[in-house]
Chains A and B, each alone.
Chain A
């Protein structure tokens, strides 16, 4: 016993003497605040999770809160204390969605493949319900039992009233039936008047009352009919039978397929491996567009960056001249576009390019369909982007110019360099050292500049033969149309294209960043 105490004391003595921190008020207050926030989150977030019975989320939440609280109560892991707040949001709203999107790239998720197989079977069966021959047509009254919508069904032959819910049909005693065959009053139920029922038309048509041989569904708001599913799933053969045909489940496609290779409209989500990626590359209608769109996309991004930079920089250089007068006034005028809300100005520009009553045609006295012709539309969107973007470049370059000593250019001119040469050899390289990172992020931004296209041309003009891809479509607007467009949603495929876009931008940026580093070694 004695020896172990000695060892501990020896260890304590050999440890470096750390200044003991006083326990200040701020220290105490911050600890209490951390605990309070953790407790508040738990109090707020836990009850709904318990009510919904999502135990996994509950466990995750408690673990995360405990981890965060303990992190701020210890004195270790100081970097984590500063990184966690932002990282929590980053993971929840960026990383998780991105990871999930990437995983959908390996599935056929989209219209017809939204849910799992059980949901698809239910949809197929209920979708195939037809009125059974000879089945009765009930008089229908819509009512509420608490919050639940129920049917009151009057058998036309026996005048017997039954209560129909999603559980089934039960006889109802004590209901008062009017002369029209509608139920006027029923014990424990709120009978809905016609306009109230009409307001819930969606709920009414969604309710299916199962009976022994089929389901009862509303037909309008005053009649209900009993119908039978004409397509029925048979677990023994994993197939759907009916209408004199058999559709067998195909787990590769996520569809029920018959012998002729036709499939039922409802499918389910399955993994398709690299099919979506392969489709981008091999499907001639897609890959043909893809290369074309990519080409224009690069032109647009480069054009936007170089154009705004050239114009912004030349303005900054012109105003930087020591004998320049009125710079204050000019500066305000040049920055104005940056202060205007860009979404609104994109829409304004779209209208200025209008053929019939647009300002541009009015001013030029022309009758050009600016956004209706591929080349002028492309020119138009780049011009709009130039207008929106050059004030930023002007600001940035103005700032960077202040950091370059004037003596450098003066020395160059004494050495006999022309102003152009001095600019090329001295000013520009120094500017680029400072600005390349911004130029790269501007490129990445413009490469995916959805708003600039969506709010002006919306990808158009579209050639007659391919209404899918317009001349000003960027990859991102094209993908967006694929994913959510009229042709039906193809989320899996769109996700695969997103992965391609991401790869392209990431590679270009990475290469550009490497080059910057070299440059800095040369000039800095």
Chain B
């Protein structure tokens, strides 16, 4: 038993030490890469203050953009993929198998290599509808919704398959429409998988860097990933490291929040979805 604890502790140390390093850099008053040790040699909130008081980096704005995009995009993609999963799990129609397979395959194409095409599409969109073009959160959101179906749909379909079909049949006999079945019978039963997918989508969107980097050029419209990358790109790397570390910690806050909020559903959801994948 002692050996087990030793093993777990070792892995915990591996898991925690980079985070400890970030914390140390964040509260280190000097806040450069070279001056940071694993254990902080002083404490101040200076880096956090700099972050919010900075003229070059509108951090609060980035933070808002990121959380806003992640929340709206993951909520919308959750809804879209849940609709699709319901159809794939409960209805039998021509093209069902092909559709499921196609979803899986399309996801495997490295999407961002289509970035030239996406760039061209959105150049046109920017001309016609500036509100959904480059440098806008709505345009980026549309792009993210392109990936709403796919892995999520598979995960949810797997979970839905485990919900007994008799429930819908009973509801149909009672005269419920398909829409009523979906909203009143199915949705309340699938909260665990909704929680998992929401979390995965949220984490994925918060960390998405590549598309956002192409999309958002204007300092005011950037997300955390794009903005913070700019913070330590080039010559600023060493000097801004303290601020970067502070920003990293703050970025983790919404994720941890969503995680705690959804925690009780997550383990059961992950398994149940995984079983039928």
Contact = CB atoms under 8 A, between A and B. Distances in A.
Interface of A: 19, 21, 26-27, 30, 44-45, 48-49, 52, 78-79, 82-83, 85-87, 89-90, 92-98, 100-101, 104, 311, 314-315, 318-319, 321, 323-324, 326, 330, 333-345, 347-349, 351-352, 354, 356-357, 359, 362-363, 387, 390-391, 395-396, 398-400, 402-403, 433-438, 441, 444, 448, 450-451, 454-455, 476, 479-480, 483, 491, 494-495, 498, 501-502, 505-506, 509
B274 A434 contact: yes
Contact of B248 (A321, A340, A451): A340
Contacts of A363: 38
Given A357-B33, A509-B108, A341 B252 contact: yes
Q: Interface majority SS on B: helix, strand, loop or mixed?
A: helix
13 contacts: A19-B175, A89-B148, A94-B111, A98-B106, A341-B255, A342-B207, A343-B207, A348-B245, A357-B238, A387-B15, A400-B275, A402-B267, A403-B271
Contact of A90 (B1, B146, B245): B146
B209 A48 contact: no
Interface in B102-156: 103-114, 116-118, 121, 127-129, 142-143, 145-151, 153-154
A395 B34 contact: no
B198 interface: no
A182 to B, nearest CB: 35
Contacts of B158: 437
Nearest to B232: A347
B8 interface: yes
B113 A495 contact: yes
A35 to B, nearest CB: 16
A356 B207 CA distance: 28
A83 B113 CA distance: 26
Contact of A435 (B1, B8, B274): B274
B177 A93 contact: no
Interface residues of B, number: 99
Contacts of B147: 90, 93-94
B251 A341 contact: yes
Interface stretch (B46-54, B86-94, B163-171): B86-94
Given A52-B128, A98-B109, A344 B251 contact: yes
Contact of A86 (B84, B114, B268): B84
B18 A345 contact: yes
A106 to B, nearest CB: 14
Interface string B239-277: 001001101100110011001000000111111101101
B64 interface: no
B80 interface: yes
B98 interface: no
Interface string B71-93: 00000000111011011000101
Contacts of B268: 399, 402
A395 B199 CA distance: 13
Given A399-B271, A483-B116, A498-B113, A339 B18 contact: no
Contacts of A396: 270-271, 274
Nearest to A84: B83
Given A96-B117, A455-B209, A86 B274 contact: no
Contacts of A335: 259
Contacts of B22: 340, 345, 348
- Please classify the interface of chain A as helix (H, G, I), strand (E, B), loop, or mixed, using the class held by over half of its residues: helix
A391 B15 CA distance: 9
Nearest to B204: A342
Contact of B109 (A86, A89, A90, A498): A498
Contacts of B87: 78-79, 82-83
Given A90-B148, A340-B252, A341-B252, A101 B4 contact: no
B153 to A, nearest CB: 7
Contact of A444 (B12, B16, B96, B108): B108
Nearest to A19: B175
Contacts of B37: 359, 362
B114 A506 contact: no
A318 B34 CA distance: 38
A131 B98 CA distance: 63
A495 B112 CA distance: 11
Contacts of A49: 128
Contacts of A83: 83-84, 87, 99
B80 A333 contact: no
B19 interface: yes
Nearest to A349: B18
Q: Shortest 8 CB-CB distances between A and B: which pairs?
A: A93-B146, A437-B277, A399-B271, A97-B114, A86-B80, A82-B87, A357-B34, A97-B117
Given A437-B154, A437-B277, A450-B210, 17 more contacts: A21-B175, A86-B149, A89-B148, A97-B121, A324-B1, A333-B12, A337-B18, A341-B224, A344-B247, A347-B244, A354-B33, A441-B151, A476-B113, A479-B110, A491-B116, A494-B113, A505-B108
A93 B140 CA distance: 11
B57 to A, nearest CB: 14
A37 B160 CA distance: 29
